[in-house]
Amino acid sequence: MELPKIVLLGPPGAGKGTQGGLIAEYFGIEHITTGGALRINRELETEQGTPGSFIDRGELVPDAIVNEIVEVEIGKVEGFVLDGYPRNKEQAEYLSTITEISNIMYLDVAEEELIKRLSGRRVCSECGENYHIEFHPPRLDGECDLCGNKLIQRSDDEAGTILNRLKVFSEHTKPVLEYYNNREGFVRIEGRNNPDDVWEDIRNILEMGDGK
Ligand code: AMP
């Protein structure tokens, strides 16, 4: 059986990281997250500037940098779930020239809920595990349940930056939804529910095979 090649779309805070991890584990495919790759390379000097300088303003990192990361990562594996890419129409068009996508899943969550999720989010400074001060607190205050390291707030989860990221989503990533809307394998998932229920919906759809 061919391994799935999945695009996971959604605004910041929709749960792409959590669901992307679950999908990857369940189907034995690679979880490719452009946000994660860019955070690791935040100080990388490029002609357009460092990735970190864009991330901290809540802006998109230039396509040339992101496309290169995705092409290299996709080239290494058979199946994957792409989390956080494509983020604009140009990236979607580029993606179509390097691979064929089997499923496009849009995790839909209302803006009000996203602000609550993002402003309370904390992440482990070492392993990247996600928490929320109210909805999913760690067992010990400020400490990761998995590895015991310190929890931090992502620099782009601060109030002003959150609003800019949501604006960037509306302006640049919504057109990607339109781009994929009528394609076979496109499906909208209600992302407001708790993560276990969202995962069940996603798994059911993917197990049906054709994204319908
Ligand atoms: P995320 O972890 O997916 O929320 O991404 C964090 C930040 O990384 C975004 O706000 C952007 O600055 C940058 N980023 C992630 N993916 C992309 C992408 N596909 N294109 C451009 N910038 C991206």
* pLDDT tens digits along 181-194: 999 999 999 999 99
- Global pTM reads 0.91
> Which of 8, 16, 34 maximizes ligand 1 atoms within 8 Å of its Cβ, making it the mutation to test the pocket?
34
Q: How far apart are CA 136 and CA 112, in angstroms?
A: 18
Give yes or no: 165 in active site.
yes
- Can you give the pLDDT at residue 39? 92
| pLDDT of 69 strictly over 60 | yes
pLDDT of residue 89: 97
Does a cis peptide bond (omega within 30 degrees of 0) precede residue 4?
A: no
CA distance 55 to 39: 8
Q: Does position 212 have pLDDT exceeding 60, yes or no?
A: no
| Region 80-103 average pLDDT | 97
**5-29+78-208 carries CATH number 3.40.50.300:** yes
Q: CA-to-CA distance for 4 and 23, rounded, in angstroms?
A: 10
Quick: pLDDT tens for 132-156: 999 999 999 999 999 999 999 998 9
Q: Under DSSP, is residue 34 helix (H, G, I), strand (E, B) or coil?
A: helix
Q: Would you list the domain boundaries of the chain? A: 5-29+78-208
Identified catalytic residue from 5, 117, 121, 122: 121
Q: What is the pLDDT of residue 209?
A: 64
Examine the pLDDT at 210 and tell me if it is beyond 80. Answer: no
Closest ligand 1 atom to the C-alpha of 57? 12
